[in-house]
Structure 1
Amino acid sequence: MRSFIADTLALVVFFTIVGALNERFVAGMGWDEVATARMIGAPLMVLTARPYGLWRDWFVARTAPPLPQFVADAVALLVFQVPIYAAIVAMGGASGAAILRGCLGFAVLMMLVGRPYGIWLDFIRARFGLGAGGMRPMSLQ
């Protein structure tokens, strides 16, 4: 349960901010569309945060090395989040062109924020007494 809460908190906080900025300033959505997309996105983020955390842990464990950590984090985020983001923006009422621009912008953004999000996720997990892999460290006590 602790892993679920930590991963969910990390994802919701980070991507509510990042998603809203992308929708407004890259996709060109109005603030009303941004608000709708974020309201749709919040429950989806709750549903996908822990699966993403598990996916990221699995992907990074198998690809870094040989991939540098920042590349593994970026690719893990890109592959998992862009399809979800496309659905959120579409349900928010964006036009086809806005969806395409938003997804392209979000894909670039995922490549840029993959490692910062990985660091943020590990930071939040540590606040919950979890290891970087999202599981509580073993103790002899």
Structure 2
Amino acid sequence: MSREAGAGVMRSFVADTLALVVFFTIVGALNEHFVAGMTWAEVARSRTIGAPLMVLTARPYGIWRDWLVDRLAPPVPRALADALALLLFQVPIYVAILWVSGATATGLLQGAAGFAVLMMVVGRPYGVWLDFVRARFGLAAGGMRPMTLGD
């Protein structure tokens, strides 16, 4: 791999990681405090625990999102494609976290359902944010390859 290609890979990793950590730290904190009723101290602990997981999954999610959106849009509206990408990637991870944490079957289903709704709501806003952050790093927005006659 050339030095230039390596720099692009690193920029992509940093951009996707920064976008995910910033966005979901804010969204998660607001959800945990105002919806789940956690204290700010509990929110801080939760976000601290979640940060390493966000770092590990940010770039794989960015790659997944670009791949899925390339295949869905158009004819699927971009807002729905972004929501589906987030839903299909993040909900299984969240379910695994709940399961490992000892959630009951009912808690697992309720938690997964609530999280699924949240992912559908924030899917497009996160997609817009991700593209914005990527642009700040000199990267093209993902999931938008040009149409060709072969498509």
| Class of the TM-score when normalised by the shorter of the 2 chains | 0.7 to 0.9
Number of matched pairs:
133
Cα offsets for 1:66-119 (capped at 9, x unmatched): 21100000000011112323445667x686466554433221111111111000
Paired residues of 1:82 and 1:107 also in contact (CA < 8 A): yes
Aligned 1:69-108 pairs, distance under 5 A: 69-88=78-97, 96=104, 100-108=109-117
2: CA distance, partners of 1:99 / 1:28: 18
CA-based RMSD: 2.4
Counterpart pick for 1:47 among 56, 65, 83: 56
Read off the aligned partner of 1:18 and give its amino acid letter.
Answer: V
What TM-score, normalized by structure 2, do the two folds share? 0.76
Aligned to 1:113: 122
Mind listing any 5+ residue stretches in structure 2 that lack a counterpart?
Answer: 1-9, 144-151
Aligned to 1:127: 136
Paired residues of 1:59 and 1:72 also in contact (CA < 8 A): yes
Q: CA deviation at 1:57?
A: 0.1
* Higher CA-based Rg: 2
1: CA distance, partners of 2:111 / 2:18: 24
Mind listing any 5+ residue stretches in structure 1 that lack a counterpart?
Answer: 135-141
Q: CA deviation at 1:21?
A: 1.8
Alpha carbons of structure 1 residues 111 and 76: separation in structure 2 relative to 1, 3 Å:
same
2: CA distance, partners of 1:106 / 1:30: 20
